[in-house]
Structure 1
Amino acid sequence: MKININKVFLILGLMILAGCQSVTKTAGNYSEIPATKKWSERMALTLMKKYPQAYMIDDKAEPKWDYVHGLNMIAFEELYAKTKNQQYIDYVKGYADSTIDSEGKIPSYKFENYNIDMIIAGHHLFDLYAKTKDAKYLTALKTLRLQLEKQPRTSEGGFWHKKIYPNQMWLDGLYMGSPFYARYNTTFEKGDKLDDVAHQFELIQKHLLDKKTGLLYHGWDESRKMAWSNPQTGTSPNFWSRSLGWYAMALVDVLDYFPANHPKRAELISYLNSLSAALVKYQDKSGLWYQVTDQGSRDGNYLEASGSAMFAYAFAKGANKGYLPKEYKTIANKAFDGLVNDLVKVSPEGYVTLTNVCAVAGLGGNPFRDGSFEYYVNEKMKDNDPKGTGPFILAALQLDR
């Protein structure tokens, strides 16, 4: 039989081409982060892929002591506690070692700014010091504790948010300072300042609570000098979901350090229940919450990821710990469903992107932020902003999702 060499080569060529296409197709479908992993790990591994060093989070080019890193390091610590995967705690230690020198000094931190945001950046140091006994971590912890000791206060003893924002308390500041304060005090000072920790929440409830809605305003100026403050009450004009999220997380986290018999514990739990009941009234059918919490039907408002993730975490942890009724676990799951179904995108490689995260919002400053509805809804959004990714991981862990 006569063999046609040209046909043989043509067949072989087609077979090789088909094989290459098959390999390419398989490679294209290969998932670097398997969908079988829990959402907490999928988000954490996504961050580690984009930011090989933890200080790079938030697209930083050099190490910076910052609250957004502190928030995410707390999430990575919790993830390590759940999985015992060494890479997660190594990531946390990497952040500490890149921002703290061998003597325990923090080069990028300015004590004299009295910025309460900087306190939470060191919350991960408690466990690192306990594990390693490295004195530099303790020195850094003592520095942050000293800031709280010297922090300027309102006439009733409430911590100013920053030196540049005199006489002002913001909801954000309760998360930034209180869990650290309570943990340091119970770890190193026999819990003798827990009344002062609780007092910060008492002042927030006294001055920022809107009795009609049960929500709390973003900020309060005791002096009434800020253009955003109400001349009668001193409060800012609107309810911002992320600030309410900071406050809800502050309550569930600070309770970790209040003994069962502490006289202020029940009070803090009542604040959490009151806020949670108010928030549920404004939860969208999707499970999410709007950027301006109580104005979901208003043009320009949008379903925002970070506040929604914070509420999911606070409700889930509150229910798990017995601070909140069990049905809040169901409400938290609905919120997490909303995040995953409406605001999460997953790449072919398995990388997770959380969308609709408000990048930043505040009050006052230059350019001036007036706390108006228009201000909040027009602040820029950023995919996988760390103020969303940290609470997303924490919520996923509490819900075991």
Structure 2
Amino acid sequence: MAAVAADKLLMVRKLVETVPDAALRNLELALAGTAGALAAVRDLVENETTARYVRNSVLAPIVPLCAARDTEQTSFPPRTLRLLWAALRAQVPEQVAEAAARCNPWDLEEGPPEVFDELCAIAVKGLRAQTEDGFKALDAICDVDELASCLELAAIVRTALPMLQEWVSKMSEARAAAARLAYNDACAIRQDAGPLLFEILAAHLPDGWRILRVISAVMDRPDDKFWASSEVSVFGERVLADIARNIAIIESFDPAKGKAEGRKVAAAAHRISQLIAEFEQSVKLTRDGVWGRRIAKYKQDVAEIVEERMNSAERELLEALPLRPISILGGKKGKGVPKLTTEPDELQTRRLTAVLVFIAEIRGCAMQSGYGASRAKVLEKLNSRLDQYIEDILHVVRTGEGGDQGLARIYVDLAAGYIAYSRDQKTAEIVRRRAAAAMAAAA
């Protein structure tokens, strides 16, 4: 196979340099073991992967800031890392080469090499001086002063990162003291650097809101009045805004969208539960405090909204598994038996499934959030209705009395699917086995 032309290889190199890290890893896996013309492309990808490993190790404190984040959070365009690294390679190639040489498991086991922080310090000077072309290029895409301020804290962040998971998993007096020391060191660099330190550390957490634990430890778990008026109030406000957004998701629950919608809304309920628990753990809430009042209101709102959504399940069940009165005199008050005149309505099936999925998947947060008892009552009603419906429709499957046997088989399978959500999969399998036995007996 002919080799790739030099000009085309240059184009490929430029493309490889700009692809996101995840895409680069996929390329590396796809090209592993290739030969011939693609071997040159494979080498380009492998070299870029190695270069990025070095770059991301040196600039580790700011790497998660160079990604898509909420607009209120400190962030920089993804290409910031590439341009910053190119500027450093142009200005101090020897130190970049030293960082690459020291960027191996043996050196990193002893802690980050000093050259990593030296390069960050050089970047700070270059960004602020704006005399080198490489650093000037960054001024066109981001706030270079803010970027420099983040890099000023690189050494402190790098020291804190190995301890961060311990700080947010189980805080102790010793860990709180280490967090306070990091905060004081940041404020020694610049008096207002404390909040920025928390911002950077939060970016390194899978759940950024857990930074509340660190802030709480540094501030010795302040009350909401003090925290809400402090320079770090923004972190509490973000959590409160997140709670409000997720309440809105539950309010807009549209069962017609089906199972995925039920899971999405249940996930919102779980997130609200987590956020409120985190807030109550980190902040000493007071009844008349601005945050205390808002949390109390949110708890009440979410309980009411979730209960309203759960209470719609019985109505949706009747629409999806329609009944006809046992007698004309019974009317709507009559218990009713399966109405087997038409095939199941696809929309009603989707709606009921969404509601049942929602009820099933909020199990883990229901008691903690104050609607556990309501959930139990709703499930009790649903299961009672489903149990009776299943018995009635199995009778139709066995005997043909009371409706069309073919439709009865379809509806019993639907009912089994529903009871898997309202009770469990084992019960659903029992229903299906009984249906199979009834069909065999009727054959």
TM-score (norm 1): 0.31
Q: Which has the higher helix share?
A: 2
Structure number with the bigger relative contact order (C-alpha 8 A, sep ≥ 6) is: 1
